[in-house]
Amino acid sequence: MISSKITGTGTYIPSLIIKNSDFLNEEFLNADGSTFAASNDVIVEKFKAITGIAERRYAPEEYKTSDIAFFASQKAIEDANINSEELDYIIVAHNFGDLKKGAIQGDTLPSLASRVKNKLGIKNPNCVAYDVLFGCPGWIEGVIQAQAFIKAGIAKKCLVIGAETLSRVIDKYDRDSMIFSDGAGACIVEKTEEKESGILSHASQTFANDEAYFLNFEGSYKKEEDQNVRYIKMLGRKIYEFAITNVPAAMKSALDKSGVEIDDVKKIFIHQANEKMDEAIIKRFYRLFKKRVPKDIMPMSIHELGNTSVATVPTLLDLVLKGKINNQEVNKGDVIMFASVGAGMNINAIVYKF
- Is 136 known to be catalytic? yes
CA-only gyration radius of the chain, Å: 20
Rounded Cα distance, 28 and 53, in Å: 18
**Cβ contact 175:43 at 8 Å:** yes
Instruction: Classify residue 337 by its DSSP letter.
Output: E
Active-site residue 271, yes or no?
Answer: yes
Phi, psi angle pair for 9, to nearest 5°: -135, 160
Which residue in 20, 127, 136, 202 is the catalytic one? Answer: 136
For Cα atoms 254, 69, 176, give the angle at the middle one, nearest 5 degrees. 70
Give the active site residue among 95, 307, 346, 348: 307
Q: How far apart are CA 168 and CA 41, in angstroms?
A: 24
Q: How remote is the C-alpha of 105 from its chain's centroid?
A: 22
Residue 45: partners with Cβ closer than 8 Å, 6 or more residues away: none
Q: At what angle do helices 275-287 and 40-51 cross, to 10 degrees?
A: 30
**Identified catalytic residue from 246, 271, 346, 348:** 271
Annotation says 94 is catalytic: no
> Which ranges constitute the DSSP H helices of 20-111?
40-51, 65-80
Pairing mode of beta strands 335-342, 346-353? antiparallel
Q: Which active-site residues does the annotation give?
A: 136, 271, 307
